[in-house]
Amino acid sequence: MKKRKMRVRDITETALFAAVICVLAPLAVPVGPVPVTLATLGVYLAAAVLGPARGTAAVAVYILLGAAGVPVFSAGNAGVSYLAGATGGYIIGYLPLAFITGFVARVDRLGEARAPIGMVLGTAALYLLGTAWFAFVTDYTFVSALPVCVIPFLPGDALKAVAVSVVAPAIRRGIAAVSYERA
């Protein structure tokens, strides 16, 4: 397998999408123990535009910034202790969400449905990991956590996935058209 060399353009685009996630994720609406945020929108977008490796790298940068104390988690939270809390599994779950979404979005034989299919599969992994961690940290069982941790988020995540499915191809084309010439 041929290794792809990371270029300055790749690093710049990855950093840009990490920044997008950092801006969107703190925007939160509390709806119980798990807040509604725009983090999944940012993760969907990074993965659908950048693909599995760079989309996941953008998410990793976001998580590392938050773990280091930059207030980029929901409602401006930060730190390793927040990651270890009840909703930390969802934040860590953004990694498989990004990888799965980015990977499936690149499978040509799926046609136009590839990004939405990737987001559905990635979101299932996110919900599984996040809800399992939530149940482990709290007094909920996995099954009793579903109405609190998954059901309320399905419509919003579906809307985010539709929005990203519409705008991601245009963003990809726009990024591809940008010329990075030396001054």
Q: What is the pLDDT along the chain (183 residues), one digit of tens a residue?
A: 556 666 889 999 999 999 999 999 999 999 889 999 999 999 999 999 999 999 999 999 999 999 999 999 999 999 999 999 999 999 999 999 999 999 998 886 666 788 899 999 999 999 999 999 999 999 999 999 999 999 999 999 999 999 999 999 999 999 988 866 654
Q: Indicate the SS3 state at residue 29.
A: strand
What domains are defined for the chain? 8-168 (1.10.1760.20)
Question: Using CA atoms, how far apart are residues 122 and 128, in angstroms rounded to an integer?
Answer: 10
CA-angle at 12, arms to 99 and 27, nearest 5°: 65
Query: What pTM was computed for the model?
Result: 0.92
